Amino acid sequence: MSCKSSSHPARMWKLSYPFKWHGYVQVSKKMCSINPTLNPTQQSTETKSKDNMDTKLTLSFLSILLLLFSSSLPTSASKCSTRDRKVLLAIYSHFGSPAALSSWRAPGVACCDWAGVDCYMNSNRVRNLYFDKLNISGTIPAAIGDFPLLESLTMTNMPKLIGNIPSSFTNLKRLVFLDLSRNSLSGQIPAFLSEISSLTFLDLSYNKFSGSIPPSIPKLRGVGALILSHNQLTGPIPDFSSFGDGNIFLQHNMLSGPIPKSLGGLGWSLLDLSFNRLSGDASFLFGASTPATEIHLQHNLIKFDMSHITFPVRLTQLELNNNYIYGSIPAQINEVTEFGLERFNVSYNLLCGKIPEGVVTQKFPIWNYFHNKCLCGKPLPPCK
């Protein structure tokens, strides 16, 4: 019998341990050609024998590995920081011992294995908290600020979660991800959030926050996505000159006044200011070399001459409808082909002149152009 290494994928054995660590052990298997001089019965017997031998070797190998690993694994009782466990129980008590967190009181279950809790493997300190669509009522517990090593906090889709963000959050010096979206939080957005300089993601959307955007919030230079949309925010957009290159979502609020020119000098790829009461010029947001891929300004009071702007060549979505934009559509719009323009809407404005013919403009239907002052040409009626 001649043997050679198999070209088939090796078996992958997944060893799952109670402390959320997963090891992957690759067991190589050789494929052997059956000796052609053997009769079918002998071939079948030899094949079964080889399979049984392979199975026994594999099981023995895994048994040895399990013994080796089990001698060095932490016990269930040690899988929890005493200090963090007390904080978690304080959170549990704050919410009134909710059934949604019943696993937090299960006997013999370490706190790092509780629902929504994730810990560092070596220190067993709480690293991430994740609460989504839980039937929880009340305010955000101030005790959350007592996790010094917390990196990620998600509390979302809980309409009974009310109140504001506790000031103890300023203690979270390692927090990089904060998602408090789709709750019923209210009041002003706390200015102290800018003290969490480690943040790279901030989502407070779909709440009931009111008042103006604190001028300190755009000073979070490391934030890659600032999402304050679908609230009741009023007043002007603050200066963004200290902001980094993150994407900005301020849509569906009641923001008013001019768009700050500081937004035009940033490196964002996506800007959404739609469905507000913003007015004045927005032409400085455009330019062929800007990295913008999506610009959403629809349903505002914006007014500028489109004739003189240059579109970013990487645009995939441009929505300018329901404003007071005038002038004509530049022919350069048909050069926006690097990624392919998927959305383009200039309806309900004050545009005039012939729609430039090209690969981009011909993609969109009549309702993306109609209700302008004197715009004409395909797909609208011919110019007179």
Residue 79 — very low, low, confident or very high, per pLDDT cuts 50/70/90? confident
Please provide residue 86's backbone torsions phi and psi, each rounded to the nearest 5 degrees.
Answer: -65, -40
Percent of the chain with pLDDT over 70: 80
Confidence at residue 337, expressed as pLDDT on a 0 to 100 scale: 81
Q: Which CATH number fits the domain 80-154+166-173, given the four candidates 3.40.50.920, 3.40.50.300, 3.40.1280.10, 3.80.10.10?
A: 3.80.10.10
Condensed to tens digits (0 to 9), the pLDDT of residues 179-201 reads: 999 999 999 999 999 999 999 99
Where are the domains positioned within the chain? 3-70, 80-154+166-173
Condensed to tens digits (0 to 9), the pLDDT of residues 351-378 reads: 999 999 999 999 999 999 999 999 999 9
Condensed to tens digits (0 to 9), the pLDDT of residues 250-289 reads: 999 999 999 999 999 899 999 999 999 999 999 999 999 8
In contact, 271 and 247? CB cutoff 8 Å: yes
Confidence at residue 339, expressed as pLDDT on a 0 to 100 scale: 82
Tokens at 383, concatenated: 């110019």
pTM of the model: 0.80
Q: Is the pLDDT of residue 28 over 90?
A: no
Condensed to tens digits (0 to 9), the pLDDT of residues 92-104 reads: 999 999 999 999 9
| Distance, CA of 295 to CA of 287 (rounded, Å) | 12
